[in-house]
Each structure stands twice: as structure tokens, then as C-alpha cells.
Amino acid sequence: MKTCLIVIDAQESFRQRPYFTEAGLAAYLAAQNALVQGCLAQDVAVVRVLHVDGPRVADNPFAVESGHVRPLSGLAGFSPAAAFTKNRHSALVGTGLDVWLTQNGIHRLIISGIRTEQCCETTTRHASDLGWAVDFVPDATLTWDMAHLDGSVLKAADIKARTAAVLKDRFATICSVPQALARAAPALAGKPA
């Protein structure tokens, strides 16, 4: 089964947000870089998706004019097979990514990037609904603590665990980096997972 790695919103824009912390960043970068390098070593296409949204002014970190809509510092450099910008949560809405995937015979997606419960989860659900097999790699996603409605803290680790639980066997196969790479190996091409 022909596979493609999608790296979603791994961009400097997030460093400009008040919730950004270094917590979890080193582990995320290690996993994301291992996934990118492993896919490239196996000739698995790697696609970059960046988020562009809001007013087109320099003080909006998600505007191109800010200079922050660029790969996250610490992310290993790579030449993507294709690059897209999005302005919705799903990387498949209005970007042309779905057309590119179809034209290139891609049947399985590996989802990674930022934020776990937002653009990564939404893209996973959307891709599954459109018929792609999806491998979701929680270690190669990043998010931050959030506030519950009552103001108490919802920890990033709990968000990642919840996301994996709700996607598992409904919308995606939950994989570690080595598992995703093994499933993408060319030797598995054309064989059911």
C-alpha cells in the first residue's frame, strides 16, 4: 500500500503563542525527525502542510507577513514531495492535498505534526472518512496544556492519550514511530496491513 507522511503545521508560528512552552518539544522533535528521516530513507513521500490564517499583518504569527510561517526550528531539513498551505483545521480542506494524494496513488497516510488534538486529529478523521487508511503517530505530534471549562488544567499528555483513544480502530491505527515506518516499508507495498 503506497504511503505518504504528512507533517502538519510544524511551524515557528506556535512559538509566538502565549501557551507555547518547551515542555514536550524535544521529545516531539526527536520523534518527528526520526519519522521524516525514516520515511525519506524508504522513499516514502513526505508532505509539508503549513497553516496560514487571520489578518495579513506582521503581528499575526500565522500570516506569511510575520515571517513565522516556516518550518519549526529543530525540525530536520527536508525537501517535501509537495507543500501546501491551509486555513482550516483539516489539511484536506481547500488545499489540493486530496487531489495530489489521489494523483500519486497514495492509499495510506501517516499523520504527524502540531497540534495533536486539533489539526492532526481533524485531518485524521477527515482522511479516514474520505477512504484513506491512516496511521496516527502520537509521539510525532505536539500539543500543550489546556484549561477545562472549570479552569483546571488538562495536561498535554492527557490530551494526547485521549486523542489516541478516540481515533484508535475508528479512524486510524495508532503507531509508534518504528511501527509506522515498518508499515510504510516498500516490502509491504500492495499487501494489506
Q: Where are the domains of the chain?
A: 3-188
Q: Which three cell numbers stand for residue 83?
A: 507543500
Q: What's the pLDDT tens digit per position in 18-37?
A: 999 999 999 999 999 999 99
pTM of the model: 0.95
* Chain-centre distance for alpha carbon 141: 6
Query: Residue 17 pLDDT more than 90?
Result: yes
Q: Which three cell numbers stand for residue 157?
A: 499528555
Q: What is the pLDDT of residue 193?
A: 45
CATH class of 3-188: alpha beta
Whole-number mean pLDDT of the chain? 95
Of residues 193 and 48, which shows the higher confidence score?
48
What CA–CA distance (Å, rounded) separates 54 from 131?
31
